[in-house]
Amino acid sequence: MAIGRQPAATGDSGVLSRPTWTTGWASWLTTVDHKRLGLLYLVSSFIFLGFGSIEAFLIRLQLARPEQQLISPDVFNQMFTMHGVTMVFLAIMPMGIGFANYFVPLMIGARDLAFPRLNAFGYWVYALAGLFLYTSFFLGGAPDVGWFAYAPLTSLSNNPGNGVDFYMIALLVSGVGTLVTAMNLIVTVINLRAPGMTFMRVPLFVWMMLVTSFLIIFAFPPLTIALFQVIMDRTFGTLFYVPEAGALPILWQHLFWIFGHPEVYIIILPAFGVISEVIPTFSRKPLFGYPIMVLSGIFIGFMGFAVWSHHMFTTGLGPVANTAFALTSFVIGIPTGIKVFNWIATMWGGHVRFAVPMLYATAFLITFTLGGITGIMLAVPPFDAQVQDSYFVVAHFHFVMGGGALLSFLAALYYWFPKMTGRMIPEGLGRIAFWLVVPGFYLIFWPQHFAGMVGMPRRVQTYEANIGLDAYNMMSTAGTFVFGAGMLLVLFSAIWAIRNGKIAGDDPWDGRTLEWATTSPPPHYDFDVVPEVNDRDPVWLQKHPELLERRDAISEAADPEHMPPEHVEQESIHIPGQSWYPFIAALGTFVGSYALLYHNLFLGLFASLIIFISCYAWAFEGVGGHHEHVTPTVGGRS
Amino acid sequence: MPVVRWFRRVAPPLGLTLMLGGCVTDGPRSMMHPAGEVARQQMDLFMWTFWLSIAVLILVVGVLTFAIIRFRRQYTGDKDAIPNQVHGSVPLEITWTIIPVIIVILVAVPTVRAIFATEVRVTAEEGDTIVNVTGYQWWWRFEYPELGIVTANELHMPVGSRLILDLDSADVLHSFWVPKLAGKRDMIPNQENQLWLSADEPGVYYGHCAELCLGAHAYMRFRVIVDTQEDYDAWVAAFQNAGQQAETPAQPVQDAQLIDQGRALFAQKGCIGCHTVEGFASFPTGNPDYPNLTNFGLRRTVGAAVLENNRENLARWIRNPQAVKPGNYMPTLWRADDPAAEEESSAIAAYLLSLGSEGQEPRTQADARGGSDGDR
């Protein structure tokens, strides 16, 4: 099995010699290959998805029937907080980043991300921050303040345990990893596109990741500031969020949602990107309205910064502010609607094959439309006053986060699994799983709209019997079993397929974009020859050269005069060397997190020393790597 | 406008049936059957967006379903055939840019109108009822500044009056939410928030805290009791004459002894350290940051609307508060094996129930369940 095999390397300089493992655990700790890191991201995010699901399952068990006391309020609060934090920061967002890590370079015809070691650092910081957060369960209790941790619930007097510190520090540190990854993606997309790949030929998934990366860069600083203020409050006794000292706790909500709303798009835009790849492939048609799709994605990302107060309609901002933020929120419905219509138009007139990824894409279209509709309803402040902080909101954001992002990432998993492993997930099992996952999802979350409208606030550990909530909650809980069974089937069929699946071949789906032009799994240098690009769907056009005769076949961005040459003189390929330092530096942040948590100066200095030394050594360990000479394989359209 | 009236009459039942196929839509906290002008405007807006959504859904799902059926590969035949490689269409793009623009405008206009109709800060006029609400973990303090009344967890207002609430919090965030009367407004320390509402008819309306406040958040409930003017005046009078009533409870003789025992225990066990009961010269004033129990016998519920207020429930609550409302701050006064616990808690319950009750028993099954008269 050659999934993510590390290349053999030669030559190094520096303090620690550059490692050259090709297999084994050390090769994974030191890897800088975007594909291996992508796999690490995906595996980690699915593990965290499992943790988050267990927490959700416990929540649903507790709420299955009214007036139950299976789980105490304290533990219940920890469950929904960790569920939210895990799903948003440790599962769904890294899932998008994981697919991006693996496929952005492949889709733009690059050999790696621009900064391979920084990429490794980003991953290890995220993984270790997640690990740090989860150790809270054994070190005095997990955070229990909800995933948006509203002040003054987080102040030392209201929350003396260290759960809140775990939350603040974990988000602060994992934010560093997310930021460097975002910058890495931006530099990569701007600089490392294959010859001929102009911006209007970049696949939509890459476009959406580019927008997402910019959102990360602009959205995380306000969060960082807010986190820092609370850490200062709790560590040094400052008074940013201490109402007894006259603080206005509403400030936290502004700072958090200036980050938090773009965060929603950081999660959903990669999902849009995936859908925009899956639908054209399985419809055998180019994406309908490509420029509009790109622009609407940019517009959504931009507007994401202008709507944060719609999470705060009930905080008493006054009618003028509520009107303004209602209107900007409505405006986001327009590009989103355009996207949905364009996806359907892509299917229209095509020859649509409903393989498993396409099934999920279709489920996404309907589920996301429903989530978007309740989104517009929530943007109506007077109605929001009723359903804000009720189960209606819970249903809404699970429709967009679960039905939108998660379903589309399942589509991506089935779609790209053959490329990543060289094998297919069995189609039959995939279909069975689909028919458990999607109906199970609806059974969980559809009744929650009505639970909210009948008056169930969110984050309640229990509820009264006989006030109309019993049936809805029982349905929700029943749904978790169906949904859970489906997700387990997805997981097991994927694990089984890694070794036993049918051999996929390079291009099992009749793909259109560059990742299908290399082998499955791709060699560590991605492409034998860096491809030249002459259209938005270069692989598709190469497979069907007869389409050049048809005027409808090629996009206005295509350049039929400039077809790729038959054979290119191959230069040797530079393979970046592995390195210990990204992992060690990330380990330093991990140790430093505990130093900050326990106010331990010695440990803090030790952690700083680790970070400082590893960064220094990182900078001076030299170019490393080696050159490989590759003979282009015959028929490997490269 | 006749159209609006028609819409109000026809749209909700039809829409709710469509959504739910006859599932439960009503309950004492259901916003789907509003009982006040503010809640009704909010529900009307929902119904309006709901019908627009149905139109959008029919369009999207209809076109999608047609595409799924008509353009699936099995149907289109030759599996290797390449369909027309259409890249886009400017007229179509313009069309489906305009469609959402129109929908958004259709939603936005009534939205802005309703925002300014329901959310503008009002100043009190003649006939308004003013209440200062303070949220505590996990109960509600209601103060009537004009009447000098302080009570907890049950808010009384006369029907036909506009209720103006000044919202504040003593600790963390809370949110005041009575779905049948009005949407919520958050209660934030150091921030003066206001909410106003009105009710169509007398009844008992259920409320709940809607912002996570840890601990017993799930049990931070309350009631808004809309009285007829007559009942309300009697309630106010009961508070203004609290002392005289409580000193001479009109109770059967065998209870009088129990009540006296309860009153003694109330002082002896330390309840008075926190809870104020007005009208007893011998009692010190309790801490204003704890629930005021004046006229407790008039309450319908115990423990922030967690249990119905009767001797049995009240004794249970006093005996072991954590079993009734996990996480709350009320101390447990008896060891688990204390043989006197049952009798003493029952005596305190008897005493508390005697407060303000001149033998009247207003609590029927119907209004304790949520006021059938308010559920329309």
pLDDT of amino acid B72: 86
Give me the residues paired with residue A103 across strands.
Answer: none
Cis ω on the peptide bond leading into residue B138 (within 30° of 0)? yes
Chains A, B: CB contacts within 8 A come to 314
Give CA torsion, residues A83, A84, A85, A90, to 10 deg. 70
Instruction: In chain A, count H helices and then E strands.
Output: 19, 4
Phi, psi of B39 (to 5 degrees): -65, -35
Q: Which site among A293, A294, A383, A448 would you substitute to test the B interface, given the most B Cβ atoms closer than 10 Å to its Cβ? A: A383
Whole-angstrom Cα distance, residue A311 to residue A334? 19
Tell whether the model's pLDDT for residue A487 goes beyond 80: yes
Residue A71, pLDDT > 50, answer yes
Residues of B within 8 A of A142 (CB-CB) are none
Query: Can you state the angle between helices B90-118 and A319-347, rounded to 10 degrees?
Result: 150
Helix residue ranges per DSSP H, chain B: 2-20, 37-70, 73-76, 90-118, 229-240, 242-247, 253-268, 311-319, 321-324, 341-354, 365-368
CA distance A80 to A40: 26
Structure confidence at residue B7 (pLDDT): 66
Query: Identity (one letter) of the amino acid at A425?
Result: I
Indicate yes or no: CB of A333 within 8 angstroms of CB of B104.
Answer: yes
Provide the pLDDT for residue A15. Answer: 57
Residue A117 pLDDT > 80 = yes
pLDDT band at residue A625 using 50, 70 and 90 as cut-offs: confident
Q: Are A113 and A184 in contact (CB under 8 A)?
A: yes
Q: For helices A407-421 and A470-500, what crossing angle results, to 10°? A: 10
Cα dihedral A142, A148, A153, A155, rounded to 10, equals: 80
Q: Is the torsion defined by CA of A50, A56, A62, A63 positive or negative?
A: negative
Q: Helix A34-63 vs helix A407-421: angle between axes, to the nearest 10 degrees?
A: 140
Give the integer Cα–Cα distance in Å for A497 and B8. 56
Work out the end-to-end distance of chain A between its first and last CA atoms, rounded to an integer number of angstroms: 22
Structural tokens at position A475: 């349905």
- pLDDT, tens only, A197-227: 999 999 999 999 999 999 999 999 999 999 9
Minimal Cβ distance to A386: which of B104, B183, B209: B183
First and final C-alpha spacing in chain B: 22
Long-range contacts of A233-241 (CB under 8 A, 24+ apart): A233/A154, A233/A155, A233/A156, A234/A154, A234/A155, A234/A156, A234/A164, A234/A165, A234/A168, A235/A596, A235/A599, A241/A151, A241/A152, A241/A154, A241/A155
Interface of A with B in 158-177 (CB under 8 A): 158-159
Residue B92 in tokens: 């179509």
User: Any idea what the Cα angle at residue B182 is, between residues B178 and B187, rounded to 5°?
Assistant: 70
Chain A touched by B362 (CB under 8 Å): no
Strands A573-575 and A626-628: antiparallel
Angstroms from B24 CA to nearest CA on chain A: 6
Q: What is the DSSP letter of A269?
A: H
Task: Write the residue in B73, B118, B210 that is nearest to A389 by C-beta.
Answer: B210
| Whole-angstrom distance, CA of residue A542 vs CA of residue A564 | 9
Q: Is residue B365 less than 8 Å (CB to CB) from chain A?
A: no
Residue of chain A whose alpha carbon sits nearest to that of B64: A344
Strand partners of residue B134: B141, B168
Average pLDDT rounded to a whole number, residues A618-633: 77
Spatial separation of the C-alpha atoms in residues B40 and A309, rounded to whole Å? 24
Q: Does the pLDDT at position A375 exceed 70? A: yes
Interface residue A386 vs chain B (CB under 8 A): yes
User: What 3-state class would DSSP assign to B163?
Assistant: strand
Q: What tokens were used for A488?
A: 């387990």
User: Which tokens go with A295?
Assistant: 């622009």
List of residues 6+ apart from A246 with CB closer than 8 A: A239, B190
On average, the pLDDT of chain A sits at 91
Q: How many CB atoms lie within 10 A of CB B102?
A: 10
Whether pLDDT at A69 is above 70:
yes
Tell me how far apart the alpha carbons of residues A546 and B155 are, in angstroms, rounded to a whole number: 78
A250 vs B64, B184, B188: nearest CB? B188
pLDDT along chain B (376 residues), means of 10: 64 60 77 94 94 93 93 73 87 93 95 94 93 95 94 95 95 96 95 95 96 93 96 92 58 74 90 86 80 92 92 94 91 89 92 74 39 38
Whether A14 shows a pLDDT value over 90: the answer reads no
What single-letter amino acid sits at A107?
M
8 Å CB contact between A528 and A636: yes
State yes or no: pLDDT of A2 exceeds 60.
Answer: no
Alpha helices in A150-196, H assignment, sequence order = 163-191
Return residues 9-28 of B near A (CB < 8 Å).
19-20, 23-28
DSSP state for residue B178 in the 8-state scheme: E
Beta-carbon contacts of residue A545 (< 8 Å; ≥ 6 apart): none
Q: Which of A360, A356, A357, A353 is nearest to B76 (CA)?
A: A353
Structure-token match 């309630």, residue found: B235
For residue range A286-308, list pLDDT tens digits in order. Answer: 999 999 999 999 999 999 999 99
For B255, counting Cβ atoms within 10 Å of its Cβ (0-12 exposed, 13-18 middle, 19+ buried), the class is middle
Which pLDDT does position A328 carry in this prediction? Answer: 96
Identify the H or E element spanning A80.
helix A73-85
How far, in Å, are A87, A95, A130, A412, A490 from residue A47 at the CA level?
A: 11, 11, 11, 17, 13
Both tokens of residue A180? 């460097």
Q: Where are the alpha helices (DSSP H) in A306-426?
A: 319-347, 356-378, 381-387, 391-400, 407-421
The two counts, helices (H) then strands (E), for chain B are 11, 12
Interface check B374 vs A, CB under 8 A: no
Q: What is the DSSP letter of A558?
A: -
A17 touches chain B (CB under 8 A): no
In this structure, the number of other CB atoms found within 10 A of the CB of residue B221 comes to 24
Tokens 């055939």 found at:
B81
Say how far apart CA A396 and CA A403 lie, in whole Å: 10
Give me the residue from A159, A288, A337 closest to B100, CB to CB: A337
A372: nearest CA partner in chain B: B53
Put simply, the answer to whether B73 touches A552 (Cβ < 8 Å) is no
CB-based contact A243 B208, cutoff 8 Å? no
SS3 sequence of A423-483 = EECCHHHHHHHHHHHHHHHHHHHHHHHHHHHCCCECCCCCCCCCCCCHHHHHHHHHHHHHH
Determine contact: B54 vs chain A, CB below 8 A: no
B-proximal residues of A, 218-247, CB under 8 Å: 243, 246-247
pLDDT of residue B177: 97
**CB nearest to A455's CB, from B31, B61, B186:** B31
Residue A150 touches chain B, beta carbons under 8 Å: yes
Q: Would the CB atoms of B218 and A460 count as touching at under 8 Å?
A: yes
Contact A472, A450 (CB under 8 A): yes
For B223, the 3-state DSSP assignment is: strand
Average pLDDT over residues A478-503: 95
Predicted TM-score (pTM) of this structure: 0.92
Nearest to B203 by CA among B169, B160, B236: B160
Q: Determine the average pLDDT of the residues in A6-26.
A: 65
Pairing of strands B139-144, B149-152: antiparallel
* Residues in A 432-471 with any Cβ partner in B closer than 8 A: 450, 453-464, 467-469, 471
* CB-CB under 8 Å, A330 with B71: no
For residue A521, is the peptide bond before it cis, meaning its omega torsion is within 30 degrees of 0? yes
Query: What are the tens digits of pLDDT across the range B176-223?
Result: 999 999 999 999 999 999 999 999 999 999 999 999 999 899 999 999
Which residue type sits at A223?
L
Instruction: Dump pLDDT digits (tens) for B91-116.
Output: 999 999 999 999 999 999 999 999 99
Residues 6+ apart with CB under 8 A from A221: none
Cβ neighbors of A320 (< 8 A, separation 6 or more) are: none
